[in-house]
Chain A
Amino acid sequence: MPLDTMSDEPDEVLLVLFANGNASAARALTARLTPRVMGHAYRLLGNHAEAEDVTQEAMLRLWKIAPDWRQGEAKVTTWLYRVVANLCTDLRRRARGVALDSIPEPEDGRASVTDHMQAEARAEALQTALDQLPDRQRQAVVLRHIEGLANPEIAEIMDITTEAVESLTARGKRALTAALAGRQEELGYGDE
């Protein structure tokens, strides 16, 4: 099946085709899922190189589990978000163990931003603030407010209740608001 005809196929169908040796399914899944996995890994880690490593490993695990994938049990993306979170947690745990002092402090003063870079600067500011959150709060906030998932799916990914998800996102947002309070004017919040 050509790649362009696979654009409408669900992830689960493509995964079955992949397990049957279909090369087009592999390319379609790579093109569809890698940017999503990469974006999520970066938001959890705040480091591009580490996010790439996590992305490659998560996708490799997806390829390996494909023949044993059980239809209807979980969405492929749900499974991937979970794997990414676990890999990021492992990576951060190892980093804390060996190089706690080497993690750079967030930049305090930033050069004034031009209008066309404003959104990018906001994204960077948010990432800096996200990096300061506890892992679980960061994961919940990113899944809810950036990936746009519903609380029940987040609960499944994080293996907690929906009430716990709500609690984590609420605390996370309070911390983000506090962290970004001093930068809203600088980053053009008043323009919105």
Chain B
Amino acid sequence: MAMSDKDDMPGLEVFFDAARRHAAEPSAALMARIDEDAQAVQALAQRPAPQSTRRSTLSSQLYRLLGGWPAMTGLATAAVAGVWLGISLPEGILDGTSDAAYLVDVAPELAFDLAGGDF
């Protein structure tokens, strides 16, 4: 059977007992510093998350309303395409000699009836 801790070296127990009765005490200054640390950590944890101090302008609200940068990209693309079409419209489309190409009345009798038929 194994001997207990106290049985194997009895002389040491006197010293261990003395050590237990003469422990190093924390100074008042240390206790105060630890208290201050505790308060600081608590204060930091209790502080609400910082909110943006920047005021929201009308343009930024509109920007967010439209969907942010993805929507803005689409709008910009559509605008550029519109400008390009306006500048470089194919000449043949508005050419007076090619009216027949797009002014074809496929049902002239119907148009007549609607315009001047009996009501």
Contacts of A34 in B (CB 8 A): 26, 30-31, 34
**A interface residues, tally (CB under 8 Å):** 52
Q: Establish whether residues B38 and A18, one from each chain, have CB atoms under 8 Å apart when the complex forms.
A: yes
Contacts of A192 in B (CB 8 A): 14
Contacts of B26 in A (CB 8 A): 34-35, 38, 52, 55
B54 contacts A by Cβ under 8 Å:
no
Which positions 12-28 of chain B face chain A at CB distance < 8 Å?
Answer: 12-27
Contacts of B8 in A (CB 8 A): 170, 173
Q: Establish whether residues B33 and A56, one from each chain, have CB atoms under 8 Å apart when the complex forms.
A: yes
Q: How far is the CB of A92 from chain B (nearest CB, A)?
A: 17
- In this complex, the interface size class of chain B, counting residues with CB under 8 Å from chain A, is 20 to 34
Contacts of B33 in A (CB 8 A): 56
A124 CA / B33 CA spacing, docked (Å) = 27
A84 contacts B by Cβ under 8 Å:
no
Of B41-49, B64-72, B75-83, which binds chain A? B41-49
B11 contacts A by Cβ under 8 Å:
yes
In-complex Cβ contact of B35 among A26, A51, A55, A187 (8 A): A26
Mark interface residues in B1-14 (1 if CB within 8 Å of A CB, else 0). 00001001101111
B60 contacts A by Cβ under 8 Å:
no
B99 contacts A by Cβ under 8 Å:
no
A124 CA / B24 CA spacing, docked (Å) = 11
A42 contacts B by Cβ under 8 Å:
yes
Q: How far is the CB of B62 from chain A (nearest CB, A)?
A: 40
* A39 nearest in chain B by CB position: B23
Q: How far is the CB of A48 from chain B (nearest CB, A)?
A: 6
Contacts of B31 in A (CB 8 A): 30-31, 34
Contacts of B22 in A (CB 8 A): 119-120, 123-124
18 additional A-B residue pairs with CB within 8 Å, beyond A19-B45, A119-B22, A170-B8:
A21-B46, A26-B38, A26-B42, A30-B35, A34-B26, A34-B30, A35-B26, A52-B27, A55-B34, A56-B37, A120-B18, A120-B22, A122-B14, A122-B15, A123-B19, A124-B22, A127-B19, A146-B19
For this complex, 20 residue pairs linking A to B, each with C-beta atoms less than 8 Å apart, are: A18-B38, A21-B46, A26-B39, A35-B25, A38-B25, A38-B26, A43-B24, A51-B24, A52-B26, A60-B37, A63-B42, A66-B41, A126-B15, A126-B18, A146-B19, A170-B8, A176-B9, A176-B15, A180-B15, A184-B11
Chain A interface residues (CB < 8 Å from chain B): 18-19, 21, 23, 26-27, 29-31, 34-35, 38-39, 41-43, 48, 51-52, 55-56, 59-60, 63-64, 66-67, 118-120, 122-127, 129, 144-146, 148, 169-170, 173-174, 176-177, 180, 184, 187, 189, 192
